[in-house]
Amino acid sequence: MDAAEVQALIERGLPEARVEVIDTTGGGDHFEALVVSERFEGKGLVERHQIVYAALGDAMRARVHALALKTLTPAQYQAQRR
């Protein structure tokens, strides 16, 4: 699996989200993702991660060994960019 596949799965599950994924080891099973979505408003960290895991479905259980997530609302993302 490559970063583009992971990104496509997340974008399919969260079509309005801004998604950036990198392969942290080059081995196709350890990734880091930034996901910015309005769906994260009012949600805690665990709930946000569960939303992303649901978008990844079976790939999260079978093909992705590790996924470091940074999940932000659009307002949080904008505040970090300043």
* pLDDT above 90 for 7: yes
* pLDDT above 90 for 28: no
Q: Which residue has the tokens 């805690």?
A: 44
Q: In angstroms, rounded to a whole number, what is the distance separating the alpha carbons of residues 71 and 82?
A: 18
Is residue 48 within 8 Å of residue 40, measured between CB atoms? yes
pTM, rounded to two decimals: 0.91
CATH topology (fold) of 3-81: GMP Synthetase; Chain A, domain 3 (3.30.300)
pLDDT of the residue at 42: 97
Mean pLDDT for the stretch of residues 42-55: 96
Question: 38-42, 43-47, 48-52, 60-64: which range is least confident on average?
Answer: 60-64
CA distances (Å), 34 to each of 15, 41, in order? 14, 15
**Domain spans of the chain?**
3-81
Rg for the chain, CA atoms, rounded: 12
Beta bridge partners of 30: 66
